[in-house]
């Protein structure tokens, strides 16, 4: 039972971090109306937390490998709560708000590097897909919480009320982690012997990192611009659009759990990931068509796009940690998170600029094409036929 408590704590910590790192898009309408910012300026603020995140992920991962997960998560999430509190009640102007969001993102990076390591250490191989699938529900859950809470809080209490809510959530979870989390045990052999560098002599980890980073593009194109698309194209209110997006993020969370269980059942992580990347490309392409020619199907396809584009994340994290091994998993997950969140930092302002210059549908077309590239570079094992062509022999990476 203790491992399930650790999973719950790790998931809660990641959910709180994701709510503020990825929750700023749901303040887009408020920032445009109350702060009189352009869509491109809003895109820069959306990217601010992830900018801080990518600057600190590897360092937090190395700290987790050395000092353990509990201390790293509690300290980082507590620092994030403090930075968000300052942003809520003392920041004046776009520059101050953006800088504090960068600091909060850098502090929250501790959760990204250490909470996955915490979960992986407590679960055996045959349960890791499910466990990491549950842990990775934190991203859509955090975004769903933000989608539900940010628009009404900002309408009623302005930016201080919305960002203050995020600060309080991070502070509470930091205290719970400090009181109840426990680092997974390490064997005496693992603690005594230096582990070999898993990056030497192999490109597999780099291909996993690269393909996962590319899949962030369709995920964040759909997730970051669905609200303003529904407001601009379909004439929805920001509150109603946020509620629909929360449903989509909930479906994304369920998809991560089911996909994780699927990977445990088939004993593979990367082949399901490649298959889902191809499905993501098809769904995002259909969403581009529905965005170019708006219809009652447009909101439905946005929901499906948000849900399916979130489904592969747990697979990439699980395969990264398994390939790296326990002694390197903190650093490997730090590298993995760096690639994903660097992409996440670039996507909102870049897509905002593209959308502002053209329309919404070209952004979705580009995201679908990038999902196709990701599917092509995922390092899946495939059978090699024996010389007589009747039975498979060894396997190679495709």
Is 303 contained in some domain?
A: yes
Q: What is the pLDDT of residue 387?
A: 40
Residue 379 pLDDT > 60: yes
pLDDT exceeds 60 at position 283: yes
pLDDT of the residue at 377: 95
- pLDDT (0 to 100) of residue 186: 62
Whether 211 and 132 map to the same domain: the answer is no
Query: Over 80: is that where the pLDDT of 80 sits?
Result: yes
What was the pLDDT predicted at 382?
A: 56
Vertex 317: Cα angle to 189 and 255 (nearest 5):
135
Query: Is residue 72 scored above 60 in pLDDT?
Result: yes
State how far the Cα of 72 lies from the Cα of 65, in Å rounded to an integer.
Answer: 10
Q: Answer whether residue 101 shows pLDDT above 90.
A: yes
How large a percentage of the chain has pLDDT more than 90? 37
Structure confidence by residue, pLDDT tens digits, 3-44: 889 999 999 999 999 998 888 888 887 887 777 778 778 878
pLDDT at 211: 96
> Is there a single domain that holds both residue 278 and residue 334?
yes
Same domain (yes/no): 288, 162: no
Q: Are residues 294 and 332 in the same domain?
A: yes
3-state helix, strand, coil in the chain (%, to 5): 80, 5, 15
pLDDT score of 271: 93
How far apart are the C-alpha atoms of 149 and 151, rounded to whole Å? 6
Question: Is residue 54 included in any domain, yes or no?
Answer: yes
Residue 389 in any domain: the answer is no
* Domain shared by 170 and 242, yes or no: no
pLDDT of residue 194: 60
Quick check: 74 pLDDT over 90?
yes
Exposed, middle or buried, 101 (CB in 10 Å: 0-12/13-18/19+)?
buried
Task: Examine the domain organization and report whether 303 and 233 are in the same domain.
Answer: yes
pTM over 0.85: no
368 vs 125, more confident: 368
Three-state secondary-structure class, residue 387: coil
The domain of 243 spans 203-380
pLDDT digits (tens, 9 = 90+) for 203-260: 899 999 999 999 999 998 998 888 888 888 888 888 888 889 888 888 988 998 999 9
| pLDDT for res 198 | 86
How is residue 358 written in tokens?
């053209």
Q: Is residue 55 part of a domain?
A: yes
Q: Are residues 372 and 264 in the same domain?
A: yes
CATH code at 36?
1.20.1250.20
Which pLDDT score is estimated for 306?
92
Based on the fold, state whether residues 173 and 243 are members of the same structural domain: no
pLDDT given for residue 295 in this prediction: 82
The tens digit of pLDDT for each residue in 54-67 reads 889 888 888 887 88
What tokens does 288 get? 């581009």
CA–CA gap between residue 18 and residue 111 (Å, rounded): 9
Q: Residue 196 domain-assigned?
A: no
Sign of CA dihedral 136, 348, 232, 159: positive
Q: What is the largest CA-CA distance in the chain?
A: 74
139 and 286 co-located in one domain: no
pLDDT exceeds 50 at position 311: yes
- Number of structural domains in the chain: 2
Query: Same structural domain for residues 175 and 207?
Result: no
User: Does residue 189 belong to any structural domain of this protein?
Assistant: no
SS3 for 23? coil
Query: In whole angstroms, what is the distance from residue 43 CA to residue 50 CA?
Result: 12
pLDDT at 270: 93
Per-residue pLDDT of 155-198, as tens digits, reads: 888 888 999 999 999 999 999 999 999 887 765 445 445 667 88
Task: Tell me what pLDDT residue 384 has.
Answer: 39
């Amino acid at each position: 039972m203790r491992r399930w408590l650790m999973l719950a704590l790790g998931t809660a910590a990641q959910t709180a971090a994701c709510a503020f790192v990825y929750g700023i898009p749901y303040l887009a309408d408020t920032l445009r109306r109350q702060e009189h910012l352009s869509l491109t300026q809003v895109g820069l603020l959306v990217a601010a937390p992830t900018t801080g995140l990518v600057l600190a992920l590897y360092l937090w991962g190395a700290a987790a490998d050395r000092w353990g997960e509990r201390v790293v998560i509690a300290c980082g999430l507590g620092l994030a709560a403090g930075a968000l509190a300052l942003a809520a009640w003392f920041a004046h102007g776009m520059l101050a708000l953006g800088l504090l969001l960068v600091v909060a993102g850098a502090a929250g990076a501790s959760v990204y590097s250490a909470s996955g390591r915490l979960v992986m250490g407590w679960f055996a191989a045959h349960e890791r897909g499910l466990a990491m699938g549950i842990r990775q529900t934190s991203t859509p859950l955090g975004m769903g919480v933000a989608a539900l809470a940010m628009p009404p809080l900002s309408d009623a209490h302005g930016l201080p009320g919305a960002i203050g809510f995020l600060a309080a959530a991070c502070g509470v979870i930091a205290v719970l982690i400090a009181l109840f989390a426990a680092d997974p045990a390490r064997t005496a052999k693992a603690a005594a012997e230096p582990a070999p560098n898993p990056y030497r002599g192999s490109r597999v980890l780099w291909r996993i990192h690269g393909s996962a980073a590319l899949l962030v593009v369709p995920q964040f194109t759909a997730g970051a611009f669905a609200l303003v698309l529904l407001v601009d194209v379909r004439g929805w209110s920001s509150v109603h659009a946020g509620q629909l997006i929360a449903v989509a993020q909930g479906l994304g969370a369920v998809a991560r759990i089911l996909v994780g269980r699927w990977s445990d059942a088939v004993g593979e992580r990367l082949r399901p990931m490649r298959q889902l990347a191809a499905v993501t490309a098809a769904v995002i392409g259909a969403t581009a068509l529905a965005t170019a020619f708006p219809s009652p199907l447009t909101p439905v396809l946005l929901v499906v796009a948000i849900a399916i584009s979130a489904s592969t994340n747990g697979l990439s994290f699980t395969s990264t940690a398994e390939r790296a091994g326990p002694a390197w998993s903190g650093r490997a997950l730090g590298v993995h998170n760096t690639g994903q969140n660097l992409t996440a930092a670039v996507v909102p302002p870049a897509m905002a600029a593209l959308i502002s210059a053209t329309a919404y549908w070209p952004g979705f077309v580009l995201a679908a094409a990038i999902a196709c590239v990701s599917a092509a570079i995922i390092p899946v094992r495939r059978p090699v036929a024996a010389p007589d062509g009747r039975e498979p022999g060894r396997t190679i990476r495709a």
